[in-house]
A and B are shown apart, each in its own frame.
Chain A
Amino acid sequence: MNTKGDIEIEFGASSDVGRVRENNEDSFRVAPEINLFVLSDGMGGQSSGEIASRLASETVIAHCREAAENPALPFVGTMTEGASEFGSRLASAFNLANHAVHQAAESNPALRGMGTTLVAVVFTDERVSVAHVGDSRVYRLRNGRLELLTQDHSFIAEQVRQGHMTEQEAQNSNLQNVLLRAIGVDEEVEVDLNEELFANDDVLLLCSDGLTKELSDAQITSVLANVEDADTAARRLVKLANDAGGNDNITVIVLRNAPRLVGSFGKLGRWFRGS
């Protein structure tokens, strides 16, 4: 254990229906033994959003677990240039998840039109591969600064990127919930894949839009920077979002690279990677 290059990750996760919705269409799944964390936010009538988000998250976990057992497992879809093997595997899992959700929607009239956002991170040494589709996000807190590592695939975000709308106008727009990309809606999907460094003391946050529509960057930063363990931070974020209105389902996964805190928190959400 603790050989050079290994990291130790502490994680906490929490999901809540919020104070307005009746169903929780968010899902999260973790596979700590392969350093994989997945979050999704479903959409669709009746309970199909829940089905889409669960199916997507579970497909990603299953494909990556299978690849860990059998490295010769074929990749699904186009490869991303310059990505690591684990990053490519994650993109492959997203393509498979898209196929699974799309097939399910096509084969059952009650599920037609369902879809989901999907965001996942996988760690290899100090590299973290970040894949996403939709408007669920990944943030990184480093040296007290919060950085957004993903770009929302939403109509509004695209308007801002093209300079047709200011941030202010975007915040007030009534088209907040219009997505340009989602898992399961079309036969194929374009997956964004980025690779980042997971440095000492970095904190990563995966979240559904139910969090970011209620809390400011400053509020999120304050929780991530000041709360000592990831599990408490995750619960605190969900509570704050509920206090601020809880208009949507809220789901978060908090991941901390905390090598100096070995042994401090024995309980939930802690494991060691390495030989």
Chain B
Amino acid sequence: MAKLVLKFENSVLTETPVGGKEVSIGRSPDNGLVIDNPAVSHYHARVFNEEGRLMLEDFGSLNGTFVNGQRVKMVSLKPGDSLAIGKHTIIVTDSREAADPFWQGGVPKAAAPKINETVMLDTKERREFLQKVASVGESSQVAPARVKLATLVVRKGKTDKREYTLSDKLTVVGKSSMATVKLTGWFAPKAAAQINRREDSSYYIGGADRVPTVNGQPVIHPTKLSAGDIIEVAGIQLEFLYRD
């Protein structure tokens, strides 16, 4: 069975086995593993078994949970992993490492899926995880006061309009019938470049029949556009910006 060995500096404080029941970690005395320190949240994190794997989940604690030096939300654990919570360290150990199915990616119960079988994260866990992912995304984005429209302004060259609002998922620059930024030159390529709006409403430019440049740098991989970027492709120059 897996054990969580709580250490402070070099001394071992407690050893907590993790069986079928999850072990909650925190400052409150009703936790399975209590760490009495102001740097630790009342309910800080938990360690539990999921489909036969040992998992750690941080409950959005203020000071975070670190596994092998990396701040984590939810990760799988293996023997030897070192968890840092505040100034305390928790070492994951196992007396029967080789024999214990928890570490094999395998499954102790006969009814559970076979090794390597694709599975869904259990519904409740998944909802919580996805919610957490979504809220992380939201808090890291500054909510715009007004909706700003991504816009291409033509600075040089022959096109059918002087300005284009990028409202579609795909914007093509070229002579093609489906192109939004329509090139009118005689020798213009059918599809010189493409701009994609991604899920997070960011915009990426990529080359097609031509290699565009952004601020003078050739676009080899799809490149994220920022306000003020100057795009040059197939003899035209476009500025990417946001309009109110």
1/0 per residue A134-165: CB within 8 Å of B?
A: 01000000110101000000010011001011
B177 and A180 within 8 A (CB): no
With A and B bound together, what is the CA distance between A247 and B114 in angstroms? Answer: 13
Give, as a whole number of angstroms, the nearest-CB distance from B118 to chain A.
Answer: 4
With A and B bound together, what is the CA distance between A80 and B168 in angstroms? Answer: 10
- 36-74 of chain B: CB within 8 A of chain A: 51, 53, 70-74
Main secondary structure of the interface of A (DSSP, over half): loop
With A and B bound together, what is the CA distance between A148 and B70 in angstroms? Answer: 27
- For B130, the chain A residues whose CB sits under 8 A away are 180
Of the listed residues A180, A199, A200, the one surrounded by the most CB atoms of chain B closer than 10 A to its CB is A199
A197 and B170 within 8 A (CB): yes
1/0 per residue B197-227: CB within 8 Å of A?
A: 1110000001111000000000011100000
In the assembled complex, A182 has its CB within 8 A of some CB on chain B: yes
A82 and B136 within 8 A (CB): no
Of the listed residues A124, A145, A209, the one surrounded by the most CB atoms of chain B closer than 10 A to its CB is A145
- 171-203 of chain B: CB within 8 A of chain A: 172, 176-178, 190-191, 194, 196-199
In the assembled complex, B117 has its CB within 8 A of some CB on chain A: yes
Stretch at the interface among A92-100, A185-193, A225-233, A235-243: A185-193
The interface size of chain A toward B, counting residues with CB under 8 Å, comes to 47
**A247-B116 contact in complex given A147-B222, A195-B169, A199-B209, C-beta closer than 8 Å:** yes
A125 and B176 within 8 A (CB): yes
Stretch at the interface among B1-9, B121-129, B153-161: B121-129
Contact of A158 among B133, B169, B194 (CB under 8 A): B133
Of the listed residues B71, B76, B120, B121, the one surrounded by the most CB atoms of chain A closer than 10 A to its CB is B120
The interface size of chain B toward A, counting residues with CB under 8 Å, comes to 45
A195 and B170 within 8 A (CB): yes
Give, as a whole number of angstroms, the nearest-CB distance from A145 to chain B.
Answer: 8
A142 and B208 within 8 A (CB): yes
With A and B bound together, what is the CA distance between A147 and B220 in angstroms? Answer: 11
Give, as a whole number of angstroms, the nearest-CB distance from B36 to chain A.
Answer: 27
- 113-148 of chain B: CB within 8 A of chain A: 113, 116-121, 123, 126, 129-130, 133, 136
Contact of A180 among B117, B126, B169, B209 (CB under 8 A): B126
With A and B bound together, what is the CA distance between A145 and B211 in angstroms? Answer: 13
A162 and B121 within 8 A (CB): no
With A and B bound together, what is the CA distance between A34 and B244 in angstroms? Answer: 40
Listed from nearest, the 9 A-B pairs whose CB atoms lie closest are: A174-B105, A195-B170, A5-B177, A197-B194, A199-B208, A195-B169, A43-B118, A177-B118, A82-B169
Q: What residues of chain B have their CB less than 8 Å away from a CB belonging to chain A?
A: 51, 53, 70-76, 105, 113, 116-121, 123, 126, 129-130, 133, 136, 167-170, 172, 176-178, 190-191, 194, 196-199, 206-209, 220-222
